[in-house]
Amino acid sequence: MVDAVKDVSSLVDVAPRERFARVCALTGAGISVAAGLGTFRGPDGLWTIAPEVERAMHAHLLPANVDALWSVWGGMWEIAAGAGPTPAHRALAATGASVITQNIDGLHQAAGSADVVELHGSAGRARCLDDDFCGWTGQAHEVRQGDLPGCARCTEPARPAVVLFGEMLDPEALGEARRLVSSCDLFLAVGTSGRVAPASWLAPTARAAGAYCVNIDLHPDGPADPAFHARVVGDAQDVLTEWASLPSP
């Protein structure tokens, strides 16, 4: 029988830093709220307050929704770049944690994290719509400016290099995520429930490999996921900053 998940108020109480040498964190939209980026789900989520965001989510609407992709994803990148990393991003970087992120905002790299897997791509990169015959990818600022950004190599439009509904995640990113969770001794899920695949198999994989698993969630919306040993109910900005201040192994 799996033990009941403990609800606690401090990561320090259940996972003192000196006990763990290989930390891996899965992060979601909640970690970037303090940088001015909204979450998607919930009563205050972007899908509720800005229904037009839906056009930026689906691959089957391409190429007619390229304008929405640049407006939504490019807008998020600009907000993130202007705000910079949050204390939670900086805390993870300071501890040397590996990061698997569902976010596309580049804030982990900006904070100094060296080992980052971007499951859903990055709004800071662009790619040609013609994957079969061109296949160009590059930094978003490299694309030509016009009515809509164009590919830096051919005449096709360019799009943000984010993963949309209906598209496959990068197999290399998935493989690296599996490697990281299989080799860590502490697994943290920050700003995400981790209940949506493929993120949903990360905590069970980490736990099966012997890691202690903790979910950090300011607004839990249901029972704790039994894949975790503990759930810290609190703001990741405070929780991770306190935890990062402790002595390391």
Active site residues: 120
Distances, alpha carbon 78 to alpha carbons 35, 46, 93, 145, in Å: 11, 17, 21, 16
Q: Residue type at 248?
A: S
Please answer whether residues 220 and 231 qualify as being in contact, where contact means their C-beta atoms are separated by less than 8 angstroms: yes
Cis bond before residue 63 (omega within 30° of 0):
yes
Among all chains, which residue has been given the structure tokens 């830096």? Answer: 152
- Cβ atoms within 10 Å of 41's Cβ, excluding its own: 13
- Cβ atoms within 10 Å of 58's Cβ, excluding its own: 14
- Cβ atoms within 10 Å of 242's Cβ, excluding its own: 14
Q: What angle do CA 36, 169, 45 make, to 5 degrees?
A: 30
Reported as type and span, the H/E element at residue 241 is helix 236-244
Distances, alpha carbon 154 to alpha carbons 9, 119, 129, 170, 217, in Å: 54, 27, 10, 24, 45
Distances, alpha carbon 13 to alpha carbons 10, 39, 249, in Å: 6, 28, 16
